[in-house]
């Protein structure tokens, strides 16, 4: 009889344990499981448009080779300006006859006919054989059926297929819709913008020059001292 009682007590204890385990905490069963909030997907980064590339070449090695030597320069940067330049590659020493000073600089090309010094002054460059025109004013040249001309709004590129003005601002190119014509020995470009119409004269079948640029033809000098003396003489004659 003692054995039977013990067994019954163990059975009751086990049944009580099973009931407690199955029941658990009623409050915990009533709470729904909460998941962590989902972060929104980041917006895709828009693709950058490909930069525009002008149709004219940007290799100016031949032009720089033509400029080697010492020159008397008129009308570059400022109307009526006079200076002497000595080239060593694209590096240039500029003599100011008013201040009697020399300074190092670099000639930079923004297009085949638009140039500027690294110090800031700019102008137009047109080379016709041994003749070099450098200064203020519009100018350009003809290669086959293509005309490249530096005008008020930028560099005009004209072919039988069409005409566009290319503008360089801080190294980034943009375009301006343009119409071009060649009436009576002139090249006329009409930009559809505030710049309106520009016209340059053909001086021969190769180059286009405004009167102002034509008057700024470079004069090559024999040596650096002679170039500085020539610049001094021109400035003295204006006083």
Q: pLDDT (tens digit, 9 = 90+) per residue, 163-206?
A: 999 998 887 899 999 999 999 899 999 988 776 789 999 999 99
Distance (Å, rounded) from C-alpha 161 to C-alpha 183? Answer: 18
Q: Which is more confidently placed, 49 or 133?
A: 133
Distance of CA 230 to the CA centre of its chain: 36
Same domain, 158 and 128: no
pLDDT at 189: 94
H/E/C letters for each residue in the chain?
CHHHHHHHHHHHHHHHHHHHHHHCCHHHHHCCCCCCCCCCCCCCCCCCCCCCCCCCCCCCHHHHHHCCEEEEEECCCCCCCEEEEEEECCEEEEEECCCCEEEEEEEEECCCCEEEECCCCEEEEEEECCEEEEECCCEEEEECCEEEEEECCEEEEEECCEEEEEEEECCEEEEEEEEEECCCCEEEEEECCCCCEEEEEECCCCEEECHHHHCCECEEECCHHHHHHHHHHHHHHHC
- Torsion angle in degrees (nearest 10) through CA of 133, 136, 137, 142: 30
pLDDT at 17: 39
Residue 46 clears pLDDT 90, i.e. is over it? no
Residue 37 resides in a domain = no
Q: Which is more confidently placed, 166 or 26?
A: 166
Query: Residue 167's domain spans which residues?
Result: 138-209
Residue 50 resides in a domain = no
Q: Are 137 and 76 in contact (CB under 8 A)?
A: no
Distance (Å, rounded) from C-alpha 59 to C-alpha 148? Answer: 15
pLDDT tens digits, one per residue of 130-151: 999 999 999 999 999 999 999 9
Same domain, 221 and 201: no
Residue 229 resides in a domain = yes
Residue 6 resides in a domain = no
pLDDT band at 44 (very low <50, low <70, confident <90, very high): low
pLDDT band at 57 (very low <50, low <70, confident <90, very high): confident
Distance (Å, rounded) from C-alpha 145 to C-alpha 124? Answer: 21
Residue 26 resides in a domain = no
- Residues 205-222: what's their mean pLDDT? 96
> Which residues, in sequence order, are CB contacts of 92 under 8 Å at separation 6+?
85, 86, 104, 105, 106, 107, 117
Distance (Å, rounded) from C-alpha 33 to C-alpha 30? Answer: 10
pLDDT at 238: 84
Q: What percent of the chain has pLDDT over 70?
A: 78
pTM of the model: 0.77
Same domain, 166 and 230: no
Residue 28 resides in a domain = no
Structural domains in the chain (count): 2
Residue 63 resides in a domain = yes
Same domain, 121 and 228: yes
């Amino acid at each position: 009889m003692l054995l039977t009682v013990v067994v019954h007590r163990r059975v009751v204890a086990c049944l009580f344990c099973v009931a407690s385990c199955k029941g658990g905490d009623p409050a915990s069963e009533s709470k729904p499981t909460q998941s962590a909030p989902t972060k929104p997907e980041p917006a895709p980064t828009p693709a950058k448009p490909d930069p525009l590339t002008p149709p004219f070449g940007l290799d100016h090695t031949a032009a720089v080779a033509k400029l080697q030597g010492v020159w008397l320069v008129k009308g570059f940067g400022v109307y009526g300006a006079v200076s002497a330049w000595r080239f060593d590659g694209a590096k240039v020493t500029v003599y100011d006859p008013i201040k009697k000073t020399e300074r190092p600089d670099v000639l930079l090309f923004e297009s085949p006919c638009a140039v500027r010094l690294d110090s800031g002054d700019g102008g137009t460059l047109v080379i016709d054989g041994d003749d070099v025109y450098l200064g203020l004013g519009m100018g350009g040249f003809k290669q086959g059926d293509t005309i490249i001309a530096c005008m008020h709004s930028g560099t005009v590129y004209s072919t039988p297929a069409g005409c566009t003005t290319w503008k360089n601002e801080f190294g980034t190119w943009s375009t301006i819709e343009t119409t071009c014509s060649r009436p009576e020995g002139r090249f006329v470009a009409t930009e559809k913008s505030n710049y309106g119409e520009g016209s340059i004269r053909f001086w021969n079948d190769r180059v286009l020059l405004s009167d102002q640029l034509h008057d700024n033809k470079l004069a090559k000098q024999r040596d650096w001292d002679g170039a500085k003396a020539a610049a001094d003489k021109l400035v003295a004659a204006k006083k």
